[in-house]
Every structure is written in structure tokens, then in C-alpha cells.
Structure 1
Amino acid sequence: MTPHRAIAAVFAAHGAVAGSLSTRIPWIQDHLHLSPATLGLAMLCPSIGAFLGMPVASRLAFRYGSRTATRALIALWCGGLALPALAPVPAALFVAFLLFGCAAGMSDVVMNAHAVELERHLDRPIMSGLHGMWSVGSLGAAGLGALAAQAGVDARLHLAAMSLALLALGAAAGRGLLPNHVTAAQRPAGAAPPRRFALPARGILLIGLVGFCATFAEGASANWSAVYLTRVTEAGPGLAAAAYTVLMLCMAGTRLLGDRIIRLLGPVTCVRAGGLVAVAGGVVVVTARTPLLAIAGFALLGLGVAVIMPLALAAAGNAGPTAGEGVAGVATITYLSGLTAPAVTGWLAGAFGYPAAFAFITAVVLLLPFLAPVLRPAAPRPLDPAGPAEEDALIPAAPCRSSARPTSGG
């Protein structure tokens, strides 16, 4: 298995874990007799765990290498899939979700950091396609989970089986990842271990703001699209659910094709164009009063923001002191965006109506064309002169530059 295919399989496995669990939340709620308020509090725990784990992950990747850290943490993430369903009482569910979120955030950071390092080695963009594979894994696993739920399969059995299958996939993929000595040679000379819980540098914060805007629109649309169609366009349950499906399919398809578009246009132009497409989608959603027109608007939103988050992570990995530290900084900001977007949208919808809420989201994505230039590269830094050991040079060295590190398009 080539390193590119290996990391793609890791991304698909990571997405499959998220997709599998999302379909069994209703079973967990019924099994533990949770009120909506209690379940809502429990669902905050994964985000808290992710915030705590991300800075640790970048240090692990620095100390042990992104290959070793990715192999270990993707195994932890896949192995923890069954934990929430096994919780016997609500208090145990809180702990399980906290650990689950910690594993999610840590594995997310190290696999994206490894992907940035592989981009440098291959000298071509791959991040968009990898995030497309994450979406494919999530959608496929969610489909299997829906079938299992429909058939009445116990969630503990379903998630345990998925956990074992994904552990095997992650272990097989891990053997094909780029060796640690290749990625270590890409570090800037004299790079220090990542700091604990320090604010990212200004450049990383600006890149994180790009990711924040894209993730805010994605999270708000994913959580509220079906409700919007029901309340504003009076769509039936089937059409309302179709809005989410179309949104996710548009994002997955665009990400799978995104690397070719990025090579053609450059990342800055891609962010500008994507922001304008997302704005057009937001305008369609706000003005739509029929289900099909609203679905078309959500499709445009998905198309517009699809490649922006992968580009932000790639830019941060190249701009940070180390790939892991840069990715961790942006990932923390975007997790915050994903956490706040549904709540802010709901508050605005309750106070001013659903069209007004999505008018605000449209204003958020309108910032993207103006923020796009922050993805331009910083000046090249000297790399670690210690290259791969002669006996370990299994992969020929490539120039440590990448078309994912913004070089055109602006």
C-alpha cells in the first residue's frame, strides 16, 4: 500500500467511526432513559475531550513521529467506538464521551499533520481528497448504522463489530504510512517541541479564521437544513431529510475532485471562488420558499465550503513551527466553530426567524474571499539538515515544497 493510499484509508476509517456512532445516539438515549437536556450535556463532552487532547497530540507527533502517533491514535479512536454504547449509567456515558472526544481530537491532529508532511514529500495537493475519503467513510458507515438500527440490532453488538473491522483497517493502513525519518527531515532546523495550551501565532489564528468561517457554515447547514425546509418551505419529512443528504454528497464529491481544482487554480483563488459560491447558496436559501430551491441553496453552500477546511489545515501545517502544532491550532479553532454554529443558528432563528439566521451565516462566508490571501505561503524556512539514514532510505526524497502550500491563485 502506497503512503497516499494508506493515509486515505486512515481518513476513511476515522470518518467511519464518526458515522457509525452518529446513527446509534437514539439507541443510547433510549437505553439509558436520557432526557434531551441530559443527552445535550453528554454531547458536549466529546468537544471538551478534543480540546484537551489536541495539544498533547502535536507533542506526541513531534516526539515519536507522525507515522507512529497516527498508527497508535487511530487504533485508540477505532477501539473506543463501542465505549458510549457500553456505558451502564449516564455518569459513565459522560466519561465515555469525554475519552471518545479526546481520541477523536488527537487522532484528527496527527493524521492531518502526517497528510501535510506527505503533501510536502509528494509535491502535490492531497488534503482535499483525503477529507473526501473521510466523508465517504462517514456516509458509508452511517448507511450501515441506519440499516442496523432499522433491523433492531443491539448498538453494543453493532459498534463492537464495527470497532474490530475498523481496527483491522487502521492497522493495515498504518503499515503503509510515510516513515518517520522522512517526515522528521522536513522539520525546520532547531524546531522545539510544541507548547502546552499556548495561543497559536497570529498567522495560524488568521488561517484558523478561514477554517472557522467554513466550518461555521457547514455545521449550521448540517444541523438546521432539514428544520429549515420543514419550517420555512413546509417540506415533508422526506424532502427535509434530502437537504442534509444533498449537502453531504456535494461536499464529499467536491473534496474528492478538489485536489485537481487546487492544482489548476491555486488555493487562494479556490477559497475566493468557494466563498462566492457559498454566498450565492446562502442567498438562495434565505430567499427560497419552495423545497427544491432551498435544497439547491444548501447544495451550493456545500460546494462552496467543501475544500476550504482541507486547505486551511494544509496551510497551517506548513506555517506552524511543526506540522502538528500548526494543525492543532487550526483544528482547535474549527472545533470551536463546529460547537457554536448550531447553537448560534438556533438562537438567531428563535429570535429573528430562520431566514435571518441563514442571512447571518451568509455574512460569515462572505468574509472568505477577503480572508483568502492569508493562505499565501510564508518565506521558506531552513529544514533539518539531518536527512534519512542511508540504510532506511526506502522512499526517495522529494523537494520539501508543496502546491498545497499556497504558491499561486491570488
Structure 2
Amino acid sequence: MHHHRAIAIVFAVHGAVSGSLATRLPWIQDHLGLTPGMLGFALLCAPIGSFVGMPMASRLAYRIGARTAVRLLLALWCAGLALPALAPVQVALFGAFVLYGATAGMCDVVMNGHAVSLERRLGRSIMSGLHGMWCLGSLAAGGVGVLAAHNGVDARLHLGGAALVLLGLGALAGRGLWAEPPAPGAAAPRRYALPPRSILLVGLVGFAGTFAEGSSADWAAVYVTDVAGAGPGLAAATYTVFMLCMASARLAGDLLVRRFGPVAVVRGGGVAAVLGGAVVVASRTPVLCTAGFALIGLGVAAVVPLVFAAAGNRGTTPGEGVAGVATITYMSALIAPAVTGWVAGATSYPVAFAVITCVVALMTVLAGAMRPPAPAATADAASLREVGA
């Protein structure tokens, strides 16, 4: 199997696991009788597991090989999809989400690190398109989940079946992954890789983009309902439009990077996202608000894949660089929805999104940090045809 196609399927499978679980959270809440606060704590356990697991992922990839690590962790992540629905009591649910988050974060690190290495070999940008495949996988699995929930399918049956299907797809894709050779003379990554100084500015770009992405994804429907008076259908459509814009921009992002470079893409995206934020803050009609969220989605879409690529090229190994910046972006994704809610509660939703607009403006200011490091003399060009273009 073509190596690029194989890693694209891996990203789609990873997204499909996330999209599948998201649609069945109401069933899990009802099944265990969880209050909103208890469900919120359960969901918090997933990023806690990610924070613990991610810094160890690059060391695992170094020990067993990146290809093997991707295959192993993707299988564990797919299997973990069934755990929350199978939890018999609340305590077990918390443990299930910790394991789910740990495998999610570790798989995220190794598959992005592997993708950075493949991108180097191919000599062209592929990261944005891979993250676009993640979005498509999440949207497709979310659609299946909506149908399952609408027809009253037990979540244990739905998520168990989805886990088996995705395990099979992941195993098939894993057979086609590039058997990445160890870099000659490369030092072993640290056992627990916290963000190094070399990627802090890159991490800030990722923090800003992820902050806007997470806040918009979680609050767009609420915003257009409470501020613009949208009904349930329009509110749901706003979220869908936002995600479709994210997916479309990521799928097209590699072409833009090849033509204009990562600095221009991030800077242009920052301008679009700031403009979108201004439209959201100023608008009081559903259509204009939705247009503003669409601009935010288009603007921040390429940030995470480009940040991962930039960090992977600056770390001791691609996996270690990705692990460091992933810690920062996951932190942003964790706190952004909560901060948005706190600011909105203390002031108003438009004020909260004015703050988000200021945060996303950092993307424009710090875009220069995305400039690729000076290329070292390598033998990569000679092996381009071996990996496939």
C-alpha cells in the first residue's frame, strides 16, 4: 500500500474513534445517571490521561520503531472506544476515560511524528491533508453515531461494533506504513519529553489556533442560539458548517503550503480568523454569525498540522518535537471551552469571543516562528522514489 495513503487512513481511523464516542455521550450519561458535573469530570479524565501518556510516546517509538508504535497504539485506541460504554459504575467510567485519553494522546504523537518523517522523505507538505482526513473520519463516524442514537441502538453494541470495524481498518492501514529507519547518530529521546525551548514560539501559535478552534466548536451552537436567536436546526448547522470549513481547508492546506509556505498560510489564516471573530462579535443574526464561525474555521484549520510539522522538525526526533507541542495544544483545547464559559458568564458571549479574537491574533503576530529551519545536507532526495510521491 502507498505509504501516504496508509498514514492518511490511520488519521481517518483516529478521527473516527473520536467522532463515534462524541455522539454517544448522552447515552452514557443517561445509562449511569450522571449529573452534568460528573460527566464533565469524566470527560476531564481523558485529557489527564493524554497529558500523562503523550510525553512518553516518542520514547516508545524509539524503542520499538515508529511503524510498530503507530500500529500498536492505534489498535489500543480503537479498542478503548468500547470502554466508556461498558463501564458499569461511575468510578469505572473515570478509569476508562483515563485509558482512552492516554492511548489517544500517545497515538496522536507517534502518528504525527511518523507523518513528519514521511513528509521529509517526500519533500512536500502532507500534514494539513492528513489532519483533513482526521476531520472527515470524525464527521463520517459522527454521522453513523447520530443514526445509531436516533434509532435507539444500544451504545455498547454500536461502539463495540465500531471498535471492531476500526480495528480492522487500522490493521490494514498499518501494513502499508513506511518502515522508517532509525536516524543515524540520533540520540534517544527523553523518557518524559516536556516542551523544549526550541518549540515554545511554535507552541504559542498552536495554543492560539487551538484555543479558537476548541472555543468555537463547543460554543458556536450556544452562541447563535442565545445571541442571534437561532433555532435548534440552525444552531446545529452552525457547528456543522464550522467543521466542514475546517475539513475543507485542511484538505486544501498542503497545496497552499507548497505554493506560499507555512508562514504565509498561518499569517493569512490568522487574518481570516480575526475577521471571522469580528463578524461573530458584531453580528446579531444567525446567518452572519454562522459566516463568522466559518471564517474562524477556515483560518485556524491548518494551524495544528503545520505546528506539528514545525515542531517535529525541531525536536531531537520528530516524535519528541510533536510530543512537546502536543502538550501545549492539548492544554489549550482543555482550558479554552471553560475560559470561554467563565468570561461569558461574567460578561457576555460577545465579550468572550472578543477575547478569543485577541488570542487568535497571536497567530498573525507569531507566524514567523513557523519558518522551516535551515535544511541540513541529507540523503533524503535520493530515496524519494522509494517511498512514493
Partners of 1:7 and 1:396 in 2: CA distance: 22
Equivalent residues in 2 for 1:215-364, closer than 5 Å:
215-364=210-359
3-state SS of 2:81 partner: helix
Q: State the percentage of identical aligned residues.
A: 66
Structure 2 residue 100 is the aligned partner of structure 1 residue 100? yes
What is the RMSD computed on CA atoms of the aligned residues? 1.5
Task: Please report the TM-score for the alignment, with normalisation by the length of structure 1.
Answer: 0.92
- Separation of aligned partners in 2, 1:32 and 1:105: 26
Aligned pairs (5 A) from 1:394-405: 397-398=383-384
Residue identity opposite 1:164 in structure 2: L
Q: Distance in 1 between matches of 2:382 and 2:191?
A: 34
Which residue in 2 is equivalent to 1:23?
23
Aligned residue in 2 for 1:371: 366
Matched, 1:125 2:125: yes
Give the secondary-structure state (helix, strand or coil) at the position aligned to 1:398: helix
**Could you tell me how far apart the structure 1 residues matched to 2:263 and 2:95 are?**
41
Q: CA deviation at 1:313?
A: 0.3
Match of 1:361, as an amino acid? I
Gaps of 5+ in 2: none
SS of the residue 2:383 aligns to: coil
Partner Cα separation in structure 2 for residue 26 and residue 46 of structure 1? 17
Equivalent residue runs for 1:108-147 within 5 Å: 108-147=108-147
Letter in 1 for 2:317: T
Is residue 68–residue 180 contact of structure 1 (8 Å, CA) maintained in 2?
A: no
What's the CA shift for 1:396?
A: 6.5
Q: Distance in 2 between matches of 1:30 and 1:23?
A: 13
Report if aligned partners of 1:226, 1:241 keep a CA contact under 8 Å in 2: yes
CA distance in structure 2 between the partners assigned to 1:335 and 1:54 by the alignment: 10
Once residues 127 and 262 of structure 1 are traced to their aligned partners in structure 2, the CA distance between those partners, rounded to angstroms, is 10
**C-alpha deviations, 1:44-80, integer Å up to 9, x for none?**
0000000111111110111222111101110110111
Counterparts of 2:377 and 2:65, CA distance in 1: 19
> Does the CA contact (< 8 Å) of 2:193 and 2:323 recur in 1?
no
Check whether the contact 1:81–1:160 (CA below 8 A) recurs between aligned residues.
yes
Counterparts of 1:176-215 in structure 2, within 5 Å, are 176-181=176-181, 184=182, 187=183, 189-215=184-210
> SS in structure 2 opposite 1:319?
coil
Code of the aligned partner of 2:256: I
Q: Secondary structure of the residue that 1:43 maps to in structure 2?
A: helix
| 373-382 vs 158-167, which moves further | 373-382
- Give the distance between the partners of 1:348 and 1:177, measured in 2 at CA: 45
**Does the Cα contact within 8 Å between 1:215 and 1:334 map onto a contact in 2?**
yes
Aligned partner of residue 236 in structure 2, secondary structure: helix
Deviates more, 1:292-301 or 1:58-67: 58-67
Q: Distance in 2 between matches of 1:141 and 1:198?
A: 32
1:151 counterpart = 2:151: yes
- Equivalent position amino acid for 2:244 in 1: L
8 Å Cα contact 2:55/2:194 also seen in 1: no
Shift of 1:89: 0.3
- 1:160-212 deviation digits (Å, cap 9, x = unpaired): 1000000000000001011132xx2xx3x532222233532222111111111
Deviates further, 59-68 or 359-368: 59-68
**What is the 5 A alignment of 1:66-85?**
66-85=66-85
Identify the residue that residue 57 of structure 2 maps to in structure 1.
57
Confirm or deny: 8 A CA contact 2:56 2:193 kept in the other structure. Answer: no
Query: What's the TM-score once normalised by structure 2's chain length?
Result: 0.96
Secondary structure at the aligned position of 1:124 is classed as coil
Task: Report the residue type matching 2:235 in the other structure.
Answer: A
CA contact (8 A) 1:45 1:98 kept: yes
| Runs (5+) with no aligned partner, structure 1 | 388-394, 400-410
Distance in 2 (alpha carbons) for counterparts of 1:378 and 1:277: 26
Offset, 1:380: 3.8
Q: Equivalents in 1 of 2:369, 2:87: separation in Å?
A: 44
Whether contact under 8 Å (2:128, 2:306) holds in the other structure is: yes
